[in-house]
Structure 1
Amino acid sequence: MEELSWVTVPTPLPTGPMRFAVTPVGVAAASYAGESVAGLHAGAPECTEARVVDLVENRIRGYFEGRRRELELPIDWRLTTGPHRTVLGRLWSDVGWGKTITYGELAALSGVFEEVSEPGAAARTVGQMMGANPLALLVPCHRVVAAAGIGGFGGGPRGMETKRWLLTLEGVLPPTLDWDGPTG
């Protein structure tokens, strides 16, 4: 990927800082805790373009401080194609702050699984797609939940803590006594 660089932003998440792969088009990928993103060279340099770094840092900081409900960062969709791109696009455009959607509902909303007749197959596929979302947080896979619970999230126990933290920040889940998010 030409002209790829990374912006690392501290976060209050249980997974720590996030990394955002930026290109001249926009953010091409985001990862929690330095996780690798398929199709990207992890050794790309940190971004030195002050305008880009400031934009990403300020939008992400505003979100985690509870001052911003939409990140409004330009997205470079090049790491998504076909049905995966369609599903992520619907999630990005239709499921805003404080809302959730089930895996099955997102499958139906996307329209890409109309030929699938096996019960649960489309929902399971959407779950796999969420696990392969290269644009974590920007395309809010944390808002996709199971029909009977919170569902899964990559990264094992820390990943589930992160999903709970994000859903608490957005008001979907009530804060626990030990939650360390913004209070206002």
Structure 2
Amino acid sequence: MTDERQTDEKPGRRARRRALTALSVFVILLAGVFSWRPDDLYLWIKALHVIAVISWMAGLLYLPRLFIYHTDAPIGSEQSQTFKMMEQRLYKVIMNPAMMLTWGLGLYLAWTVYGFQGGWLHAKIAMVFFLTVVHVMFGRSMRRFAEDGPRKTARYWRLVNEIPTVLMIAIVILVVVKPF
């Protein structure tokens, strides 16, 4: 049995293939639901939206943890290279598609179900916008790590790791309770 590292090309191709397969299944399911037009289309779209949100949030919660560990890895080390690969795959293969699907399906629901009406909905969209800002900030940080550029401290990343959690809590309360 050969020793394949995650930074090798072969596991990278397999990971991309698996991710593309999963994304393709999701898109085919989405297209099927739209073309089928079931009576409960809203519930199908909402379910797919929740799946996309969970995938996006998983990445938003995990990527800063990788940054914490990457910060402690010596620049140029094999460990640093592994973290670079993990961060890139998480961001590009999971987080970006999940964010786009979250926005697309969420805006579809906001328009078709609520007509963009309701203070709670406007607040929720604002919170999702802030999550997107965090997402972009993580992408820039990932690129700095990839270039072996200046690094923030592990303490910084532990604090930043709480931002998606706080926003998620606010969003869930707004969606479920609809306080205004």
Please confirm whether the aligned pair reaches a TM-score higher than 0.5, indicating the same fold.
no
More helix by percentage = 2
TM-score by length of 2: 0.27
Look at both structures and tell me which one has the larger radius of gyration over its CA atoms: 2
